Amino acid sequence: MLKMTDEDDSSVEENISIREIAPRPVPRAKHPFITHVREGYEQSRTDPMPRQPGGQPRDNVVKLGQFPPIISLNVGGVVYQTRLSTLLKYSDSMLAAMFSGRHEVDQDKDGHYFLDTNGAVFGHILEYLRYGTVPPFDLSTAVYRDAEYYGLHSMVEKLQLRPEIASIIVKKSHRSQFPGYQDAKHDVIRAAVANASINRIGEVLICAFRTEFKAKAQNFNPFHGCIVESAHVSIGPWETQADEEVFMKCLENDLMEDGFNVKPHEGKRKCKYYYGQTCQKFVYKLQIIFYPLAPRTSSLAA
């Protein structure tokens, strides 16, 4: 504010006062997602009990961040007791995440924290967490599956050095080369069952092709009644270097390991069409024998 008086030419009085003006806040757009997260965070600070959609607390869920030092577990009906520190041993595992206090964990009627996996197998998981020991060889496959499930990477790496687990990895690698492999395998079994209704042998024609044949001859008839039209199952193309024989051997081995009686597949049955160029398509024949013939008995008495 400025005040001046001028009674005469020789007298001038000035009073100056300065007031700081606060800047006006710039309005921000209210993002619904950010608002929701912030409100959820504030609510979790004041009310850590997980709630149902209606707002009522869930009785069978532990409060976040409230785990005792001794943990009672119900794993598929088998009860275990262990220290919380044992479950938190590997910070990047699923078990450490579950019992970190950041997630909800269900409890049974007796207050045990519930894990829906194989109870007998979990005992070997606990033994590894406590002592770093791996299970006997005959249990490697079952424990390997659960070790992967719980994210125990160091245990998985140790088990992968065992022959049965290494074999599983190699088989999985072979199958992954062929997109749609499992679906094709199931289709082969279904076709074999359907075709074995007259006799005990299910014959299946399979069209497997790594690269798709494209005719270059101008007068080539694509509707020439190609042999692949008789195929029960078709799979291909795929990008890896594995050829069709690798696929067929992989399929045969899988079926035999599943318990099927499989005859070795026959060689390629090639299409015989020719007009300007030969059709390069072909099929394989695979046979599954579903039951052995009953032994014949003589009608003559000994």
Backbone φ and ψ for 32, nearest 5 degrees, come out as: -60, -35
Q: What is the pLDDT of residue 30?
A: 38
User: Which tokens sit at 38?
Assistant: 């912030």
Q: What is the pLDDT of residue 136?
A: 94
Residue with structure tokens 């009953």? 294
Determine contact, residues 249/243, Cβ cutoff 8 Å: no
pTM attached to this predicted model = 0.63
Mean pLDDT by 10 residues, the chain (302 residues): 45 46 42 33 37 47 70 96 96 94 91 95 97 95 96 96 93 92 96 88 94 90 92 94 93 93 91 92 94 53 40
Q: What is the pLDDT of residue 11?
A: 45
Q: What residues have CB less than 8 Å from 302, skipping those under 6 apart?
A: none
Q: What is the pLDDT of residue 9?
A: 47
Q: What residues have CB less than 8 Å from 275, skipping those under 6 apart?
A: 217, 219, 220, 221, 224
Q: What is the pLDDT of residue 65?
A: 57
Q: What DSSP state is assigned to residue 247?
A: H
Determine contact, residues 65/105, Cβ cutoff 8 Å: no
CA distance 216 to 284: 25
Nearest to 288 by CA among 268, 271, 263, 270: 263
